[in-house]
Structure 1
Amino acid sequence: MGAPVARGEELELHVDSLAYGGNGVARLDGFVVFVRRGLPGDTVRARVTRVKRGFAEAVAEEVLAASADRVEAPCPHFGRCGGCRFQDYAYERQIAAKEAQVRDALVRLGGFAEPPLEPIVPAASQYHYRNKLEYSFTRSADGPSLGFHRAGRWDEVLPVDVCLLTTDAGNRVRDAVQAWAREEKLEAYDQAAQTGYLRHLVLREGRNTGQMLVQLVTAKGRKFEEEYLVEVLRRFPEVRSIHWAVNDTPAEVTTLPTTLLWGEDAIEEEILGLRFRVRPNAFLQTNTEMAETLYEITRAFAGLTGGETVYDLYCGTGTIGLALAAQALTVWGVEISEESVACAIENAELNGITNAAFFAGNVSLALEELRERAGQPDVVVVDPPRAGLAGKALRRMAALEAPRVVYVSCNPTTLASDLALLRDEFGYELLRCRPVDMFPHTPHIESVSLLERRAGVVAP
């Protein structure tokens, strides 16, 4: 039997809930329609954009009856900018929806009938919380402009006058670079035509140190006066590091080798009393304030007493492992990014931590060698990318037979499937799961889970 809707058809729908990813969930005679820009409680007129066998996707063209939980979005660019999805949804309802999505994933995908889910931790700040932003250059009547991709579009950039997720300093530096680009009559890159020069601006801030790193990304060629750009940026006392990167490929990427134009090669951030050096391509949680909360929960779940050997997998710049080191015997970190590992080693030295070591390598390939070197782990902390611990990495981690695993996740769907496999095939019991809202007004959800291995279980 075919779907009861067709692409391009307009429907009147009542939105019941939010799906993971941010779309509203409506039903038409039992058939699920995911509605972009639809909030729970809304009745909308929606246009169908995609039809699959078991569901359809639509975009709300008009709100016919607004949800009682709709609020006024403070950002002048909201609705057109693709950065925030829920500034118009009351914050207490946002976090309730995120907690429900984690629960739903554990029940429906993980098969945990009564998951040990603890209340979500709300964000300490709903705005101005990001320590990193990536802007794209675009062409406008006034010359090069900086902004973000329009909602639902990869090929169109919306110029912005202000972003409420960054700081006042971040907004001022972005405006100064935009004014510099116009003064120098440089041309913004056109992604569709693959012509032009200026591509991206990346700003990273040490929120607890007041330091800022600026990275300009251009197409190939040295078409600007480096000294003048440095002069413009040095007017801001926060700017401590200025980098230039060249992207000569069609791909829109900013993780590139850089040339230091001025200042230190890295800035510093402070988390839980520790100092961390941050280079252009090193990973750091984007919300410093809530990263401290996330790491405190991780430390509590790890339950260290001072005698444990801890593996920190996907360790990034070592933030989690170094936060655990004072309560552990040894910490051993593995991360595929050599730049991040270099930062982790430097961060250990910076903080005088001598019981932590970090290595560059693929987690799925490095564990056997790590166990030979470090010995059997008592606790494994894992913070994988959004795709989770798929395949060999999960099985080889589980084969370590660590008594305790702390899983930091940024994706409840992959978390649920990974936890189910750890339960069913390796005897790990889920004891606790705590969602943490790191990114208000977006669909993203972090969580920390504690697993313990049942005695007598033989790994396959």
Structure 2
Amino acid sequence: MASAETKQGTRPKPGAELVLTIDSLAQGGRGVARADGYVVFVSGALPGDTVRARISKAKRGYGEASAVQILEPSPHRVPDRCTHDGEPCPGAPWQGLPYEAQLAEKTRHVDEALRRLGGLEGFELEPILASAQQWRYRNKLEYSFGQRDGELVLGFHRRGSWSQVVNAEDCHLATEANNRARNEIREWARREGTPAYDPDARRGVLRNLVVREGRRTAQIQTRLVTSPARFARPPVDLHTVVEGTGSGTSGPTGVLGEEFLAEDLAGLRFRISPMAFFQTNTEMTERLSELVGEAAALTGRERVFDLYCGIGTIGLTLARDAGEVWGIETVPEAIADAEHNAGENGIENARFTARDVRLGVRPLLEEAGSPDVVVVDPPRAGLSKKVVRRVIECEARRIVYVSCNPTTLAPNAAQLTEAGYRLRRVTPVDMFPHTPHVECVAVLER
């Protein structure tokens, strides 16, 4: 049986409450504190805060905790701008940190991940690109339904709880149009007496609401996730999809209004299906596409592979300066959007295929030949070792890696350097102000 004493100090028990002072921020955004030498990662706290924290996990090397009370705020804290029911917005955990400090922390996290996790040296870390907007920047938000004191609420899960929902009236991450759509849905549900789903009792109807906005087209798309039931039509004119879920999601059961959302980006128009991925910060997505174009350094003759191409936002912007673009994406709906978007914009040198990237690169090589440039834009988990090997087999002279997680970019880049590539430069991009998340564009060449 493990002793409560460790080399790092006395290990507290789960449920214990400690008074801790936060020293720094770890990868992922949690505060770092020490209790008699024992390291504790604290959610809901910033450097300089002294907090009362409740231990949730106590492992041999470290513990995890949540701040239950800020006893003495950091002298560098700024007032929370976005609150719901008197609590800080769960979608803006870093809002108490001055914006310049947020950018500095994100830059440090990228640098530490690449050097410590990847063992990488000799690359240029360019200055982080600040978000064009610090607030009202999100084009998509997901809300949860709940009941409180007998009244339906619609907002966000309270930090650390999956059963309690805090009501949102004006989320400062969302635009006025997004807030208005959410509030209309909530008032409709209250008026009709349509209840929120209770997962413990397994009864009720309304589960989640996703509101997505075309920032340049002023279109709103809402997706309402429910349990199977009949109810009145929601008061949203267009782009409303109602889904039914039992124990799991069974897919759309009815469509109200138009199914697709349109958005303008980099001089092109894109169709976006309800289930297709699209970056949540429209203005910085456009800047990200420009960065990828600069990194690809196309002259008009190159063959480009666009892996994890989504609806074609990167591939179609590159196609204007490339000889040909070949895109692969697992989600068939996204590929249908990409093909539509190519036709809509009169782009004839881009082809898209619905394939699992792990299995689709070799057939693509046989069909198209070796590329000059490979662009990868994987999910947070990064590239599997198998996919990295397939990218290496492409023998491209340049790889442009778009990453939303520096801790997975680092080992992927290290594997590529072992195969003869050199990490030239990395540009952090702040797509998500007031959160610990950071995007990166990395360039590797051989």
Q: Which residue of the partner structure matches residue 120 of structure 2?
A: 112
Q: TM-score, normalised by structure 2?
A: 0.94
Match for residue 199 of structure 2 among 173, 191, 198 = 191
Q: Which residue of 2 aligns with 1:76?
A: 83
2:410 is matched by which residue type in structure 1?
Answer: A
The equivalent residue for 1:457 is none
Range that drifts further, 82-91 or 362-371 = 82-91
- On the 8 A contact 1:186/1:198 being kept in 2, the answer is yes
Q: How far does the alpha carbon of each residue in 1:157-178 deviate from its partner, in whole angstroms, 9 at most, with x for none?
A: 2221221111111111111111
Question: What is the Cα deviation at residue 68 of structure 1?
Answer: 2.7
Residue by residue, what CA displacement relative to the aligned partner does 1:168-216 show, whole Å, maximum 9, x if unpaired? 1111111111111111111110122221111111111100111111222
Q: Once structures 1 and 2 are overlaid, which stretch shifts more, 70-79 or 407-416? A: 70-79
Q: Deviations over 1:356-383 (max 9, x none)?
A: 0000010010111101111110000000
| Larger deviation, residues 32-41 vs 84-93 | 32-41
Q: For 1:347, what is the secondary structure of its paired residue?
A: helix
**Equivalent of 2:330, from 327, 336, 342?**
336
Alpha-carbon spacing, 1:64–1:199, altered in 2? closer, same or farther (3 Å): closer
- The equivalent of 1:233 in structure 2 is 236
For residue 36 of structure 1, report the CA deviation from its aligned partner.
Answer: 1.6
Give CA-to-partner distance per residue, 1:326-369, whole Å, 9 cap, x none.
01000000000000000000000111100000000100101111
| Distance in structure 1 (CA, Å) of the matches to 2:404 and 2:380 | 6
CA contact (8 A) 1:79 1:85 kept: no
**Are positions 1:16 and 2:34 aligned together?**
no
- Residue of structure 2 in register with 1:365 after alignment: 359
AA aligned to 1:171 is: N
* 1:297 correspondence with 2:291: yes
Give, as a single letter, the amino acid of the residue that structure 1 aligns with 2:443. Answer: L
Q: 1:178 matched to which residue of 2?
A: 186
Q: Which residue of 2 aligns with 1:456?
A: none
Equivalent residue, structure 2, for 1:440:
433
2:11 pairs, out of 5, 17, 27, with 5
Shift, 1:155, TM fit? 2.5
2:185 is paired with a residue of what secondary structure? helix
Contact kept? 1:256, 1:281, Cα under 8 Å:
no
Corresponding position: 1:244 with 2:221? no
Give the conservation status (yes or no) of the 8 Å contact 1:341–1:359.
yes
Q: Is residue 53 of structure 2 the alignment partner of residue 46 of structure 1? A: yes
Q: Which residue of structure 1 aligns with residue 42 of structure 2?
A: 35
In the TM superposition, what is the alpha-carbon distance from 1:24 to its structure 2 partner?
A: 0.8
* Aligned-residue offset at 1:35: 1.6
Residues 200 and 46 of structure 1: is their aligned pair in 2 closer, same or farther, counting only changes over 3 Å? closer
Query: Quick check: 2:83–2:171 contact (8 Å CA) kept in 1?
Result: no
Q: Go from structure 1 to structure 2 and tell me whether the alpha carbon gap of 1:156 and 1:141 turns closer, same or farther (over 3 Å shift).
A: closer
Aligned-pair distance for 1:43?
A: 3.0
Which AA in structure 2 matches 1:355?
N
> Within 5 Å, which residues of 2 pair with 1:66-215?
66-77=73-84, 79=87, 81-141=89-149, 143-215=151-223
* Contact 1:215-1:245 within 8 A present in 2 as well: yes
Structure 2: tracts of 5 or more residues without a match: none
2-structure distance, mates of 1:333, 1:49: 44
Match of residue 458 from structure 1: none
> 1:415 maps to which residue?
409
Give the partner amino acid of 1:13: L
How much has 1:140 moved relative to structure 2? Answer: 3.0
**Residue identity in the other structure for 1:4:** T
**Kept after mapping to 2: 8 A contact 1:14/1:41:** yes
Give secondary structure in 2 for the equivalent of 1:193: coil
Alpha-carbon distance in 1 for matches of 2:300, 2:252: 39
Q: Give the secondary structure class of the aligned counterpart of 1:387.
A: coil
Distance 2:103 2:11 in 1: 32
**Match of 1:180, SS?**
helix
Structure 2 CA distance, aligned partners of 1:152 and 1:47? 11
Residue 350 (structure 1) aligned with residue 356 (structure 2): no
Verify the 8 A CA contact 1:83 1:151 in the aligned structure 2.
Answer: no
The alpha-carbon deviation at position 65 of structure 1 amounts to 3.7
Q: Please, what is the CA RMSD of the aligned residues? A: 1.7
State whether residues 79 and 151 of structure 1, in contact with CA within 8 Å, keep that contact through their aligned partners in structure 2: no
Shift of the alpha carbon at 1:142? Answer: 5.6
Contact 2:400–2:442 at 8 Å: present in 1 too?
Answer: yes
| Change in CA separation of 1:29 and 1:141 when aligned onto 2, cut-off 3 Å | closer
Distance 1:206 1:198, change over 3 A: same
**Aligned-pair identity (%):** 51
Q: Tell me which residue corresponds to 1:283.
A: 277
The CA distance in 2 between the partners of 1:83 and 1:316, in whole Å, is: 24
Determine the C-alpha separation between the residues in 1 that align with 2:316 and 2:406: 25
Residue deviations 1:25-84 (CA, integer Å, cap 9, x gap): 123454322122221122334333221121112223443443232000112327454222
CA contact (8 A) 1:211 1:268 kept: yes
Instruction: Please report how far the alpha carbon of residue 258 of structure 1 lies from its aligned counterpart in structure 2 after TM superposition.
Output: 5.2
Q: Give the secondary-structure state (helix, strand or coil) at the position aligned to 1:389.
A: coil
Hey, what's the Cα distance between the residues in 2 that align with 1:42 and 1:183?
Answer: 43
- Separation in 2, partners of 1:430, 1:110: 11
Relative to structure 1, the CA distance from residue 258 to residue 347 in structure 2 (aligned partners, 3 Å threshold; closer, same or farther) is farther
Whole-Å separation in 2 of the counterparts to 1:139 and 1:64: 30
1:250-282: per-residue Cα shift (whole Å, max 9, x none)? x5x6x93353222x2212001111100011111
Secondary structure (helix, strand or coil) at the match of 1:384 reads coil
Measured after TM superposition, the shift of residue 134 of structure 1 is 1.2
Secondary structure (helix, strand or coil) at the match of 2:289 reads helix
Within 2, Cα distance between the matches of 1:136 and 1:335?
A: 29
- For 1:98-131, what per-residue CA distance to the aligned partner results, in whole angstroms no more than 9, with x for missing partners? 1100111011100024542111111111111111
SS across alignment from 2:284: helix
Pairing 1:311–2:318 present: no
Distance in structure 2 (CA, Å) of the matches to 1:440 and 1:217:
27
